[in-house]
C-alpha cells in the first residue's frame, strides 16, 4: 500500500464512523463536533483529489462558518420540553430506505464502465489559476462562469438578509 | 492508485447516513446537519469525477463551489427559521411543528 492509500483508508474510516456517531448522538453539541470531524475528513479527501482550493474552502466555510452556526443554534434552542425520544416513529423504515438507497446507488454505479477508472496524469497545480480564471475572466470574448459567479454571490447575499429578517426579534 | 470506485462508494455511504439523519431524527437542527452530510457526499462525487474523468476542465470544481454557496445559504435560512419556531412554539422537534399539517 502506498502512503496515499493509507491516508485514503484512514480518512474513509474517519468520515463514515464519525458520520454514524453524529446521527446516533443524544447530545446535539456532541453531534455537531462529530459533524466537524466528518467535514475535516472530506477536506482530506479534497487534498487527496488534488483540489487544494476546495480543501481550503471546505475548512473555512464548512468548519469555520457552518459548523459554528450549527453549534450556536444548538446552544440557543436548548430543548427543555420533551427531551425523551431521539428518533421519530418511522426510524426503522428510514433505516431500510437509507440502506436501499445505498444499495441502489452502488448497483447503478457498478454497471458504469468507468466505475473503477484510475486517475490520469494531470497538471493539477495549474488548476487553481484555471479556476480563478474560469470564475472571473472572459475567454475568447465569452465569460465562462462569470454569470454563475455573480448569481452565486447574489444567492449568498439575499438569503442572509432574509435570515436576519426572519430571525429578528419583533418589538 | 486509488480507483474512482472507492470515492464513489464512500460518498454513497455518507449520503445514506445523511438521509437517515434527515428521515429518522426528530430534532430539526439534526435534520439540517443530515442535509449538510448529503451535500458533502455530492461534493465528493463532483470533485472525484473532475479529477478522474476531466482534469483538464475546471467545471467540476466550479460546480462544487456552487454547492458550497447553496449549502451556506441553506443553513443560514434554515437556522433562522428554526430559531423563530423555537421562540414561538418552544420546541425544535420536527414532529411537533405541525401547524401546516393537513
Give the ipTM. Answer: 0.91
For the cut 50, the answer to whether the pLDDT of residue B98 exceeds it is yes
Answer whether B19 touches A (CB < 8 Å): yes
Contact assignment for A134 to B58 by CB distance below 8 Å: yes
| Mean per-residue pLDDT of chain A | 86
Under an 8 A CB cutoff, do A134 and B52 touch?
A: no
- pLDDT the model gives residue A37: 94
Give the start-to-end residue ranges of the domains of chain A: 1-78, 126-171
Q: Which of A152, A158, A171 to mutate to test the interface with B (most CBs of B within 10 A)?
A: A152
**Residue ranges of chain A with per-residue pLDDT less than 50:** 81
Q: Which of B53, B58, B86, B93 to mutate to test the interface with A (most CBs of A within 10 A)?
A: B58
| Full-model pTM | 0.90
Assigned architecture for domain A1-78: Up-down Bundle (1.20)
Distance (Å, whole) CA A85 – CA A101: 25
Q: What is the pLDDT of residue A81?
A: 47
Region B4-16: mean pLDDT is 93
**Lowest-confidence segment of A28-32, A69-73, B49-53, B57-61 by average pLDDT:** B57-61
CB contact under 8 A, B84 and A167: yes
The answer to whether residue B54 neighbours chain A at the CB level (below 8 Å) is no
Looking at residue A83, its pLDDT comes to 60
Chain A CB contacts of B65 under 8 Å are 54, 57, 131, 135, 152
Burial B43-69 (b: 16+ CB within 10 A, else e): bbbbbbbbbbeebeebbbbbbbbbebb
- Choose between B92 and A31: higher pLDDT: A31
- Residue boundaries of the structural domains of chain B: 4-89
> B10 to chain A: nearest residue by CA?
A12
DSSP-based three-state secondary structure for B73: helix
Q: Hey, what CATH class is B4-89 in?
A: mainly alpha
Cell of A137: 475572466
Amino acid at each position: 500500500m502506498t502512503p496515499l492509500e493509507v491516508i485514503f483508508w484512514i480518512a474513509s474510516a474517519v468520515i463514515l464512523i464519525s458520520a454514524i456517531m453524529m446521527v446516533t448522538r443524544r447530545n446535539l453539541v456532541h453531534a455537531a463536533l462529530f459533524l466537524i470531524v466528518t467535514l475535516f475528513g472530506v477536506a482530506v479527501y479534497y487534498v487527496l483529489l488534488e483540489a487544494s482550493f476546495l480543501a481550503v474552502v471546505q475548512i473555512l466555510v464548512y468548519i469555520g462558518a457552518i459548523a459554528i452556526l450549527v453549534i450556536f443554534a444548538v446552544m440557543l434552542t436548548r430543548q427543555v420540553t420533551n427531551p425523551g425520544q431521539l428518533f421519530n416513529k418511522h426510524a426503522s423504515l428510514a433505516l431500510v430506505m437509507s440502506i436501499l438507497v445505498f444499495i441502489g446507488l452502488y448497483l447503478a454505479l457498478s454497471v458504469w464502465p468507468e466505475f473503477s477508472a484510475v486517475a490520469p496524469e494531470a497538471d493539477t497545480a495549474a488548476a487553481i489559476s484555471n479556476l480563478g480564471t474560469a470564475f472571473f475572466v472572459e475567454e475568447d470574448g465569452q465569460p465562462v462562469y462569470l454569470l454563475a459567479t455573480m448569481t452565486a454571490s447574489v444567492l449568498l447575499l439575499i438569503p442572509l438578509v432574509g435570515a436576519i429578517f426572519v430571525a429578528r426579534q419583533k418589538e | 492508485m486509488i480507483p474512482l470506485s472507492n470515492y464513489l462508494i464512500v460518498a454513497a455511504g455518507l449520503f445514506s447516513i445523511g438521509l437517515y439523519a434527515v428521515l429518522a431524527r426528530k430534532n430539526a437542527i439534526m435534520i439540517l446537519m443530515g442535509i449538510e452530510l448529503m451535500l458533502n457526499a455530492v461534493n465528493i462525487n463532483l470533485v472525484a469525477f473532475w479529477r478522474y474523468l476531466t482534469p483538464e476542465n475546471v467545471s467540476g470544481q466550479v460546480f462544487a463551489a456552487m454547492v458550497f454557496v447553496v449549502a451556506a445559504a441553506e443553513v443560514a435560512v434554515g437556522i433562522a427559521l428554526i430559531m423563530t419556531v423555537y421562540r414561538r412554539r418552544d420546541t425544535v422537534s420536527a414532529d411537533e411543528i405541525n401547524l401546516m399539517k393537513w
